[in-house]
Amino acid sequence: MSDTEGAAVFAGDSPRQVWAPDHLRLAIDAARVSLWSWRLADDKFAMDERAFKLWGVPWSDTVSFDQLSAHIHPADRDRVQAAFAATRAVPGPYEIDFRIMLGEDIRWISARGQSAEPDDDDKVMFGIFLDVTDRKQAEEGSELLAGEMSHRVKNLLAIASGLTQITSRSAGSVEEMTAQLTQRLMSLGRAHDLVRPLPGEQGKAALLGDLMSVLLSPYDETGAFSGRIRVAVPRMGVGEATATTLAMVVHELATNSVKHGALSEPAGTLDVSGRTENDEVRITWAETGGPEVHSEPEMAGFGSKMIQRSVSAQLAGSLTYDWQATGLVATLVMRKDRMAR
């Protein structure tokens, strides 16, 4: 190696780098780029070894554009072919991102090139292929997260609107409606605090028993109701969408119990129990010690219908009521595979 090869050479006060071919290859390898040239006259590509590995094609001196096109994702193929064809008539820089298929694996490639025109009969484009799969996946993840956040915000607004209508139908005054609605919305907030997704642990951030206890805590923390609510359910994870639906069910039942059922009497109690049967989870809400039930209440109101629809759509389940003389026994049936959603 000469004294100046690969080192800074000074011309006056300005440094100038002289690149040896081996050093240039080291820089290319460090950037993990693949080199190619495309002779437009015969549609032939010459590529380095890294490019052949990137495309998953066997090594040869040249490869045709049609051979490479066979590996481009069908959804991108026409776009890439049109863009490459346009370079024949429009000289200058070229850049396009597209997907290629390597068996079942899909990779994102960025092709960047520049025309060089020794003469009109021998137009050649030189450029690089760069694997940008990680960047594209990160972009897709960000778009998915933004879409999911938008979806969740819309869902919460719809739920808040529904809860407002439910509360307005049962409240006797503005003050009562304000108190009931605030309690319901705060309970939804506590449910969501329990099930915020953790990295790699979506749907496993909360346990069903913890969720039920938090949802019922407003009715069991005062002196009048202390210790009258018991929760014994299977140990399993609950996802955010499931928590929202359960919050609506639990607080509708609890509100009715406080107003007309077991929790309206000093001696009344509530037992929430559960069990799994094959692919289902059954939660039983059993009230005792409240006013004697003489007839089955009407359950065809807006709130009841909305809850039934939510249970059916979100949990692929059902909510049934058994109005016994000693108190309400409600049974919530849910598909086990829906719980983590």
- The domain boundary residue, chosen from 103, 131, 159: 131
Same domain, 184 and 53: no
User: Domain containing 258 — which CATH number?
Assistant: 3.30.565.10
In a domain, 141, yes or no: no
Of 82, 101, 131, the last residue of a domain is 131
Q: Give the rounded distance of the alpha carbon of 237 from its chain centre.
A: 17
Whether residue 167 lies inside any domain: the answer is: yes
The domain tally of the chain equals: 2
Domain assignment of residue 210, given as a range: 150-338
- Tell me: do 82 and 179 sit in the same domain: no
CATH number, domain with residue 40: 3.30.450.20
**330 and 226 both lie in a single domain:** yes
- Asked, for residue 247, whether it belongs to a domain, the answer is yes
Residues 127 and 168 in one domain: no
Query: What was the pLDDT predicted at 315?
Result: 86
Say whether both 94 and 166 belong to one domain.
no
pLDDT at 159: 59
pLDDT score of 197: 47
- 221 vs 211: CA distance, rounded Å: 16
Please check whether residue 144 lies inside any domain of the structure: no
- Same domain assignment for residues 161 and 209: yes
In a domain, 307, yes or no: yes
CA angle, corner 35, sides to 33 and 41, nearest 5? 150
End-to-end Cα separation, the chain, in angstroms: 64
Which pLDDT belongs to residue 196?
53
- Is 22 inside a domain boundary? no
| Residue 272 backbone class (left: φ over 0; alpha: ψ -120 to 50; beta: rest) | beta
Are 117 and 157 members of one domain?
no
The residue from 131, 162, 182 where one domain ends is 131
Looking at residue 325, its pLDDT comes to: 86
Going from the first residue of the chain to its last (341 residues), give the mean pLDDT of each consecutive group of 10, the final group possibly shorter: 42 54 76 83 85 88 86 90 76 84 88 69 81 85 70 62 63 80 73 53 66 77 60 87 82 78 83 92 93 74 70 88 90 89 78
Same domain, yes or no, for 204 and 174?
yes
**What pLDDT was estimated at residue 3?**
44
Question: In terms of domains, do 155 and 112 share one?
Answer: no
CA 293 to chain CA mean position, Å: 45
Please indicate, yes or no, if residue 319 is contained in any of the structural domains. yes
Residue from 287, 278, 268, 265 nearest 331 by CA: 287
Same domain membership, residue 126 and residue 156: no
**pTM (2 d.p.):** 0.46
227 and 122 in a common domain:
no
Same domain, 222 and 180: yes
Task: Identify the CA nearest to 152 among candidates 213, 243, 238.
Answer: 243
pLDDT for residue 199: 47
